Chain A
Amino acid sequence: MKNKLRVLRAERRWTQADLGKELGISRNSVNAIENGKYDPSLPLAFRIARLFGKTIEEVFEE
C-alpha cells in the first residue's frame, strides 16, 4: 500500500524516530510503513491520519 508518510514527515522536519515516538511505535516500524513494506493496523492508520490532520484516504492509497 502506497502512502505519503515520508512527505508528511519531511514537511514537519521529523526523523523516523521522532514520528515513531509520536505514534508509540519503533523506528523500524515507521521505516517499513514508509517504504510500503508493512501495512499498519486500522487503529495506527487513524493515529497517523489524526497526527497530520488528514483523513486516512489522504495519507494512504491502494
Chain B
Amino acid sequence: MPASRYSQIVANLIFALGVAYIWIFIPPFFVTVIFTVLCITWSAWIFIANFRGADELQAASLKHALAAASGYGVPLTVAFVMLMIATPNIQQTIAGLAALSQLSPASAGFGLGVSFTVIALCSVFSIYNSVWWVSKR
C-alpha cells in the first residue's frame, strides 16, 4: 500500500519528536526499544518502495532526500567536525563533558562527533523528504 503525503510527513515529525522526547525525558528502556523497532519497521517499509520501481513516489522522495543528505549533510558535518577540532573552547567543553562522564576526551569527542553526524544527516533527510511530499503532491 503506497503511503500518502500526510503519512510521510507525520512519520517524519513523530520520529523527530520521539527522539527529542527520549533524549530529554529518558523514558523506561522498553519504550525506547518499541520506538526504535517502529522506526526501523517504517524505514524498511519505505525502503522496499525502491524495489517496486524507480517511478514509485516513495522511491523518488527517498532519492531526493538522500541526495540532499549527502549533498548538504556531509559537508555540514565535516565543517562542524573541523570547527570542533580547531576551536579551543569546544575542546575544553568536550574535555569537561568527558570528565563528568568519566571518559577520555577522545572517547567523548568521538561519541559527540558520531551523534552530531547522525543528527545532521537524519535532520536534512527528514526535512527534504517532507518538503518533497509537500511540493510534489
Q: Which residues of A contact B (CB under 8 A)?
A: 24-29, 32, 37-38, 40-41, 44
Contact = CB atoms under 8 A, between A and B. Distances in A.
9 contacts: A26-B56, A29-B55, A32-B136, A32-B137, A37-B137, A38-B57, A38-B136, A41-B54, A44-B55
A9 B105 CA distance: 65
Interface of B: 2, 4, 52-57, 60, 136-137
What are the 7 A-B residue pairs with the smallest beta carbon separation, nearest first? A28-B2, A44-B55, A26-B2, A37-B136, A25-B55, A41-B54, A29-B55
Contacts, number: 31
B137 A25 contact: no
A14 to B, nearest CB: 18
Given A32-B136, A32-B137, A41 B55 contact: yes
Nearest to B59: A29
Contacts of B52: 26
A31 B69 CA distance: 27
B2 to A, nearest CB: 4
B53 to A, nearest CB: 6
Contacts of B2: 26-29
Contacts of B60: 38
Given A32-B136, A37-B136, A24 B53 contact: yes
Contacts of A44: 54-55
Contacts of A37: 136-137
A11 B54 CA distance: 27
A10 B56 CA distance: 22
A7 B55 CA distance: 21
B136 A25 contact: no
